């Protein structure tokens, strides 16, 4: 949809003939991710090895909270500084020639031209090398090859531990499961099936602890990890959980308004760079605060017509000028509160200013909310013909979504003179914002919580949320679950109506205190935005029908009654009447990891539980 940027803008360099989209590097293909490119497998190296990309992404309220520069990954074009580095992983590969099947390290392979398959050095028929399917990982983010020589000798009573002559054999007469694959040691004849290799005790059974490796940096751990390692498939969803931050560029000084443009010019100015260097030199001697810093701040404030305090704040965030702020900027975690960001966006989107607003980054207009089912549950509908979202990569987790956070630099220091920065992208698109009548939602919540059975179920859900430490999800509430479910049903229906694929749509859920609404939008790297297929569905003559059809499709699921009667499914068991057949969307489209969904809270459960929009279908012809 829409005109795309030139290829050199959308792709980044990997140092060879490989291409990655910038948006991949701020998501599922980010630092530490194991990615497949063709028949080859790599892990993305950390940001310290990327050099110093020159393109900044400006969004003031994100920069202030994250206390980092936001920079685009280096582009693959002449003169662009820096490059994205990939490390071939796993190192173990096997020959796909059925007569060979030798397991070797890729360093031993016969290399052809970049981008061409690697050839087996042992094979007379020049077999192609394929990466092994399994890797070792732990909850602290470490990653390593499976010790295949130990697995081959798992059941052996001899003393052979040969690394050199291993094969991956396939039993062609088997059922095709892991039991048909086995690792063979040619030196002693020992072999072991891969059946059970992904069990929780597989590494413990061969006497291996976590090797504390991080191949996206270097293979020197420097410490002993005490976490129990697991063997996972390279493409397993729990091998990599990217942690990202995102915010919309609004008309409140956070986008490319005159104020923010002035801030951007100041940050890019030579004077500001000089001020940062002076502040850093003074801080190294402990001579802060200092009159020279104040003079620089006043000079910048006068030049760019900005408040002196704002200039000082940017200097404190940009250089170690002493105090708690600099300590947090260098050592602390980014101060990111997604609910706080959503509250800011809600205040703007429900303000009078947003009813007819146009700036460089946001163009939106109010349209009459639909009257559905004889009632008026909606208070406002905004059609955003153009919007801008900034996404930043904060790090990743492995095995569990609440595991240890590994930051983009992973504890390594950036080169001297390079400010800590986060890989970021800006994406453009269009969207539909729907705000509920808050009184309507509050009255419904009172009724739901008064129901003894439903109240007990919600209390149990919240206890599970607290006990399991799923802090990355918002606190489960009836309004959050119902509004989130509506968002998914609408996205699934919009795929048929708007012309966009399911993965092209995204959501933002506003369901905190004094909020009740959703934003469904497209977001691509194209600065031209999109062609209006989504906004067209938000017009008064279409939106009401869209909502009714989406709800009608959600009444029945092909997996009912199992789906509707399930008390816990999906990640953490947080979903009830919601499954792939009726409610789930692509992972990149959902802001809550396809959890906290329940058709019953939205559409009701007979006479026992009223749904938030049950009346819409009851009043439909």
- Is residue 388 scored above 60 in pLDDT? yes
Name the most confidently modeled range: 59-68, 284-293, 456-465, 478-487: 478-487
pLDDT at residue number 154:
84
Q: Over the stretch 476-507, which tens digit does the pLDDT of each residue have?
A: 999 999 999 999 999 999 999 988 888 899 99
Residue indicated by tokens 């059974």: 205
Res 182 pLDDT > 80: yes
Residue 415 has a pLDDT of 67
Whether 551 has a pLDDT exceeding 60, the answer reads: yes
Residue 234 backbone class (left: φ over 0; alpha: ψ -120 to 50; beta: rest): alpha
What pLDDT sits at residue 601? 94
Largest CA distance in the chain: 81
| Nearest alpha carbon to residue 89 among 267, 216, 278 | 216
pLDDT-based confidence at residue 410 (cuts at 50, 70, 90): low
To 5 degrees, how large is the angle CA 153–CA 157–CA 160? 55
Amino acid 493: pLDDT: 96
User: What band does 543 get if pLDDT is binned at 50, 70 and 90?
Assistant: very high
In the numeric block, which tokens belong to residue 619?
């009043």
Which of the residue ranges 132-136, 176-180, 565-569 has the most confident prediction, judged by mean pLDDT? 132-136
Q: What pLDDT is stored for residue 534 in this prediction?
A: 92
Give residue 222's pLDDT band: very low, low, confident or very high (50, 70, 90).
low
Residue owning tokens 């200097």: 315
- Residues 411-455 pLDDT 10s: 666 666 667 788 999 989 999 999 999 999 999 999 999 988 889
Q: Are 415 and 393 in contact (CB under 8 A)?
A: no
pLDDT 10s digits, 60-70: 888 878 878 88
Residue 405 φ then ψ, to 5°: -85, 125
SS3 for 420? coil
**Mean predicted confidence (pLDDT) in 594-614:** 89
Strand 69-71 to 421-436 pairing: parallel
Structural contact between residues 596 and 484, judged by C-beta atoms closer than 8 angstroms: yes
User: Is residue 113 pLDDT above 50, yes or no?
Assistant: yes
Distance CA 310, CA 491 (A): 41
Q: State the average pLDDT over residues 588-607.
A: 90
Pairing of strands 134-137, 143-145: antiparallel
What is the model's pLDDT at position 98? 84
Write the Ramachandran bin of 160: left for phi over 0, alpha for psi from -120 to 50, otherwise beta: beta
**What number is the average pLDDT over the span 50-75?**
80
Q: Average pLDDT of 297-326? A: 69
Cβ–Cβ < 8 Å for 118, 129? yes
Say if strands 11-13 and 40-44 run parallel, antiparallel, or are unpaired: unpaired
Three-state SS at 277: helix
Tell me which of 74 and 90 has the higher pLDDT.
Answer: 90
- Range list of H helices, 211-307: 258-267, 270-284, 291-304
Q: How far apart are CA 384 and CA 363, in angstroms?
A: 6
Q: pTM to 2 decimals? A: 0.80
The more confident residue out of 511 and 533 is 511
Contact 514, 474 (CB under 8 A): no
Per-residue model confidence (pLDDT) at position 256: 46
C-alpha of 311 from chain center: 32
pLDDT confidence of residue 392: 93
What confidence tier does 319 reach under pLDDT thresholds 50, 70, 90? low
pLDDT level of residue 254 (50, 70, 90 thresholds) = very low
Could you tell me the pLDDT band of residue 310, with boundaries at 50, 70 and 90?
Answer: confident
More confident residue, 381 or 204: 381
User: What per-residue confidence (pLDDT) applies to 283?
Assistant: 59
Confidence of residue 578 (pLDDT cuts 50, 70, 90): very high
Token reading at 576: 């009830």
Structure tokens that stand for 71 in this block: 């920079």
The DSSP output letter for 49 is G
Span of 102-106, 372-376, 510-514 with lowest mean pLDDT: 372-376
What pLDDT digit, counting tens, does each position of 256-281 carry?
Answer: 456 666 777 787 777 887 887 777 76
* Mean pLDDT, rounded, of the chain: 82
Burial grade of 117 (CB within 10 A; 0-12, 13-18, 19 or more): middle
Give yes or no for a contact between 335 and 342, defined as CB atoms under 8 angstroms apart: no
pLDDT for the residue numbered 51: 67
Q: Are 583 and 592 in contact (CB under 8 A)?
A: no
pLDDT at position 153, please? 85
């Amino acid at each position: 949809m829409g005109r795309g940027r030139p290829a050199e803008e959308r792709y980044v360099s990997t140092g060879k003939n490989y291409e990655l989209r910038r948006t991949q590097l701020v998501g599922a293909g980010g630092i530490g991710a194991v990615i497949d490119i063709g028949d080859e497998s790599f892990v993305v190296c950390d940001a310290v090895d990327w050099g110093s990309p020159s393109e900044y992404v400006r969004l003031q309220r994100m920069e202030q909270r994250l206390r980092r520069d936001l920079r685009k990954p280096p582009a693959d074009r002449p003169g662009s500084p820096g490059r994205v580095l990939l490390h071939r992983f796993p190192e173990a590969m096997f020959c796909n020639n059925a007569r060979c099947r030798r397991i070797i390290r890729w360093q031993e392979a016969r290399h052809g031209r970049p981008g061409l398959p690697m050839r087996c050095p042992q094979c007379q028929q020049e077999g192609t090398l394929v990466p092994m399917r399994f890797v070792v990982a732990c909850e602290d983010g470490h990653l390593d090859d499976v010790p295949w020589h130990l697995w081959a000798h798992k059941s052996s009573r001899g003393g052979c531990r040969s690394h050199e002559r291993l094969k991956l054999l396939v039993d062609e007469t088997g059922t095709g499961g892991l039991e048909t694959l086995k690792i063979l040691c040619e030196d002693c004849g020992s072999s072991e099936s891969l059946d059970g290799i992904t069990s929780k005790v597989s590494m413990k059974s061969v006497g291996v602890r976590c090797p504390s490796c991080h191949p996206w940096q270097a293979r020197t751990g420097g410490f002993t990890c005490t976490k129990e390692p697991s063997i996972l498939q390279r493409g397993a969803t729990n091998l990599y959980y990217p942690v990202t931050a995102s915010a919309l560029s609004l008309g409140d000084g956070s986008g490319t308004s005159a104020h923010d443009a002035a801030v951007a010019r100041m940050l890019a100015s030579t004077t500001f760079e000089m001020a940062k260097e002076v502040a850093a030199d003074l801080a190294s001697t402990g001579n802060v605060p200092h009159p020279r810093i104040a003079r620089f701040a006043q000079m910048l404030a006068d030049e760019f017509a900005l408040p002196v305090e704002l200039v000082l704040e940017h200097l404190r965030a940009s250089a170690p000028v002493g105090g708690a702020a600099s300590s947090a900027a260098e050592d602390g975690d980014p101060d990111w509160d997604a609910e706080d960001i959503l509250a800011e966006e809600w205040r703007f989107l429900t303000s009078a200013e947003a009813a007819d607003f146009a700036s460089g980054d946001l163009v939106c207009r109010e349209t009459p909310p639909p009257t559905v089912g004889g009632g008026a549950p909606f208070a406002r509908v905004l059609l955003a013909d153009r919007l801008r979202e900034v996404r930043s990569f904060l790090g990743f987790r492995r095995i569990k979504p609440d595991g240890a956070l590994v930051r983009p630099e992973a504890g390594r220091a950036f080169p001297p003179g390079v400010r800590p920065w986060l890989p970021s992208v800006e994406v453009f698109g269009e969207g539909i914002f729907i705000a509920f009548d808050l009184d309507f939602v509050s009255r419904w919540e009172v009724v739901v919580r008064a129901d003894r059975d439903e109240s007990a179920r919600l209390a149990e859900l919240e206890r599970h949320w607290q006990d399991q430490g799923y802090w990355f999800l918002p606190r489960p509430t009836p309004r959050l679950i119902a509004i989130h479910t509506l968002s998914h049903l609408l996205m699934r229906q919009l795929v048929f109506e708007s012309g966009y694929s399911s993965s092209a749509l995204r959501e933002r859920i506003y369901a905190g205190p004094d909020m009740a609404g959703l934003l469904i939008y497209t977001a691509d790297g194209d600065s031209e935005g999109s062609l209006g297929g989504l906004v067209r569905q938000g017009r008064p003559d279409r939106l009401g029908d869209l909502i009714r059809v989406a709800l009608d499709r959600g009444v029945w699921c092909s997996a009912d009654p199992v789906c509707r009667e399930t008390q816990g499914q999906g990640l953490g068991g947080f979903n009830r009447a919601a499954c792939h057949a009726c409610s789930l969307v692509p992972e990149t489209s959902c802001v809550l990891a396809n959890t906290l969904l329940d058709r019953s809270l939205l559409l009701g459960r007979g006479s026992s539980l009223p749904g938030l929009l049950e009346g819409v279908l009851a009043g439909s012809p």
